Amino acid sequence: MCGIVGAISQRPVRPILLEALRRLEYRGYDSSGLVTIQNGSFQWDKRPGKIRVLEDHLKGKNWNGHIGLGHTRWATHGPPTRDNAHPHFSCDEKIALVHNGIIENYESLKENLIRRGHQFRSETDTEIIAHLIEEHAKKNKPFVAVQKAIKELEGSFALGVMFRDHPDLLIGARLNSPLVVGIGRNENFIASDVPALLPFTKKVIYLNENEMVQLQRDRVTVSDLNGRVKRRPPTTITWDITSAEKEGYPHFMLKEIFEQPRAVKTTTGYYVNRKKSCTEFAALKPVLKKLNKINRVIITACGTAWHAGLVGKYALEELTRLPVDVAIASEFRYGNPVLNKNTLVLAISQSGETADTLAAVRQANEHGALTLAICNVVGSSITREAKATIYTYAGPEISVASTKAYTSQLTLILLLAIYLGRARKTITKQSETKMIREFLTLPKKIEAVLKTDQLIDKCAAQYRDAPNFMYIGRRYNFPNAYEGALKLKEISYTHAEGYGAGEMKHGPLALVDNTFPTVAIAVQSSVHEKMVSNIQEIKARSGIIIAITTEGDKAIDHLADCIITVPETSEMFSPILTVIPLQLLAYHMAVKKGCPIDQPRNLAKSVTVE
Ligand code: M6R
């Protein structure tokens, strides 16, 4: 999704803005632009394509402005052209603006503005905001003009605004799209996400919904939309800039796959008391009374996080005996779900900014349900809306394809299931101890799985040209069939489908011939024999089998064309191990096909629009 950066400083801001924009590239974009003010006029450029295209055009231009805005655009209204890229300007070219999000009522506003004589240069919804502010600026000072314009807008958005004749003021606003303020020494910043700010400061203020900010070099003023000033002490970011860098890996995705032992270990460390071999969830204390009264769980999420929810359903039902439904957030929000104060709505999101998941949490709150977020980004929108949040500690995930966030989500939801099982007395202390001891071995086992990387690379080389893949699994590993297929589609642009293995004979088996690969997750489990039968059915039709099995298990050797093994663990925890070969397979296929890996076409890291 679009990325906003802004800076006001005692030094020239162009290099700051470019550096910050590069750190937002992971969000996905198709054009970029930049504007500064120098000697009373705007200096700007914007270009379709990658940031380096913009940089090439900036070479030789001597811009030394001390205030500026930058933007990466992910097209929603109008294709990725130079005209549609941000910044956008008012007719009188006194106002420059960058925007993330969607203005829902832009057509009616545009008609009005055209009637008042405004001329538009782009097809975007964004441009109307610049013209609207221009109208209000005729009678008002800059901040009030922006305020009044915002009140006419419907939708979800974050803005950065500059006035040519006020080079000492940068204005930001947040209405349902993220915006973070960075506090520096004699310089201040805004950005859509923290990694953009880290080279310059670790002191940040996460703007709340419906807040605005005025930045001067030496002052930051946060207020509500009516201008009432709010005291917002800054938070210090504890993670380092290197967490948001590749550290020698060719791609963030590969780095993040290899960070999984650490991500799972850190997340486990926050919720497990090693000495007592039990789970502890201090963050749930404020909602404990309500939690004890729940009689039903609905998990809601999108994409990979939804797959984590599907695994969570098996574990929660097994360990707590509560009924659990899992709903894709975009369906949940427009459905008419039966919710009450005894329903726990568990929202899972890496970014905490996914528009559909956020809307689902709001809807659940409105119906009086208890909302709990599982999230990776501290202070993100979903964490503010949910009644309580438990965090995954995966560290920043930059690659669009979610990997370490997924295994951290699995970690947390499994630990939560154990915790609730104990709280509801549906599992014994002994089983908790046994499970926790087993859980603590997982990081080492993930390390062992990562050692199969070269084998998986060879397997990818063998099947790189297959146009279609099937992924199958059962029970706890059924969601990983979806996840493996999603990873492959997303980064290698190869069509893939995930299926419950038992469903093959109800239709998909018709696809199988000697050119068609099926990735079968067939580790030791209660459904192992069933999986072997399903694999046999495919083999009997000459299908190609890539199997994920348990170390030492020979049952599938004679059926599989390629076997990748993972260490033994309980069926319930096995998805944390079996997903890793699937991530690596997708990665190597995509590399071999020359795909861009970290920023797949048409996709964005945080999906902040519907
Ligand atoms: O930030 P979220 O976890 O809410 O994101 C949800 C999905 O957009 C995300 O998991 C998406 O499916 C990934 N690109 C998958 O790799």
- pLDDT tens digits, one per residue of 455-507: 999 999 999 999 999 999 999 999 999 999 999 999 999 999 999 999 999 99
Residue 90 φ then ψ, to 5°: -75, 170
Neighbours of 382 (CB within 10 A): 25
Residue 201 backbone zone (phi > 0: left; psi -120 to 50: alpha; other: beta): beta
Report the separation in Å between the CA atom of 51 and the middle of ligand 1, taken as the mean of its atom positions: 24
503-509's contacts with Cβ under 8 Å and 24+ in sequence apart are: 504/470, 504/472, 504/534, 504/537, 504/538, 505/537, 508/470, 509/537, 509/538, 509/541
Report the separation in Å between the CA atom of 227 and the middle of ligand 1, taken as the mean of its atom positions: 35
**Average of pLDDT values for 526-543?**
96
- Rounded to the nearest integer, the mean pLDDT of the chain is 94
User: Could you tell me which CATH class the domain 252-440 is placed in?
Assistant: alpha beta
User: What number does the ligand 1 atom closest to the CA of 603 have?
Assistant: 14
Distance in angstroms (rounded) separating the CA atoms of residues 139 and 351: 40
> Which residues form the catalytic set?
2, 605
Which residue's CA is the nearest one to ligand 1's atom 11? 303
> Does residue 209 carry a pLDDT above 90?
no
350, 361, 409, 410: residue to mutate for ligand 1 pocket, most atoms within 8 A of CB: 350
Which residue ranges have their beta carbon within 6 Å of ligand 1? Answer: 302-305, 349-351, 354, 357, 400-402, 486, 490, 606-607
State the pLDDT at residue 242: 67
User: What number does the ligand 1 atom closest to the CA of 382 have?
Assistant: 4
> Does residue 26 carry a pLDDT above 80?
no
Report the separation in Å between the CA atom of 303 and the middle of ligand 1, taken as the mean of its atom positions: 5
CATH architecture of residue range(s) 3-241: 4-Layer Sandwich (3.60)
> Does residue 90 carry a pLDDT above 70?
yes
Spans of all domains in the chain: 3-241, 252-440, 450-592
pLDDT category at 540 given cuts 50, 70, 90 is very high
> Which pLDDT tens digit goes with each residue over 252-295?
999 999 999 999 999 999 999 999 999 999 999 999 999 999 99
Report the separation in Å between the CA atom of 256 and the middle of ligand 1, taken as the mean of its atom positions: 15
State the pLDDT at residue 25: 84
User: What number does the ligand 1 atom closest to the CA of 401 have?
Assistant: 16
Distance in angstroms (rounded) separating the CA atoms of residues 240 and 551: 37
Distance in angstroms (rounded) separating the CA atoms of residues 286 and 354: 25
> Does residue 532 carry a pLDDT above 80?
yes
CATH of domain 450-592: 3.40.50.10490
Distance in angstroms (rounded) separating the CA atoms of residues 595 and 588: 10
pTM here is: 0.79
Report the separation in Å between the CA atom of 305 and the middle of ligand 1, taken as the mean of its atom positions: 6
Which residue's CA is the nearest one to ligand 1's atom 4? 349
Which residue's CA is the nearest one to ligand 1's atom 9? 303
> Does residue 17 carry a pLDDT above 80?
yes
Q: Which residues, 6+ apart, have CB-to-CB distance to 334 below 8 Å?
A: none
Which residue's CA is the nearest one to ligand 1's atom 12? 303
Whether residue 454 contacts residue 462, with contact meaning beta carbons closer than 8 Å, is answered with no
> Does residue 73 carry a pLDDT above 80?
yes
List helix spans (H) across 118-229: 127-137, 142-152
> Does residue 392 carry a pLDDT above 70?
yes
Report the separation in Å between the CA atom of 304 and the middle of ligand 1, taken as the mean of its atom positions: 5
**Average of pLDDT values for 402-414?**
98
State the pLDDT at residue 528: 96
**Average of pLDDT values for 83-108?**
93
> Does residue 545 carry a pLDDT above 70?
yes
Q: Do domains 3-241 and 450-592 have the same CATH topology?
A: no
The DSSP 8-state label assigned to residue 286 in this structure reads G
Whether residue 344 contacts residue 369, with contact meaning beta carbons closer than 8 Å, is answered with yes
Comparing 21-30, 436-445, 583-592, which segment has the lowest mean pLDDT? Answer: 21-30
Residue % of the chain over a pLDDT of 70: 99
Neighbours of 73 (CB within 10 A): 26
**Average of pLDDT values for 433-453?**
97
User: What number does the ligand 1 atom closest to the CA of 301 have?
Assistant: 4
Amino acid at 330: S
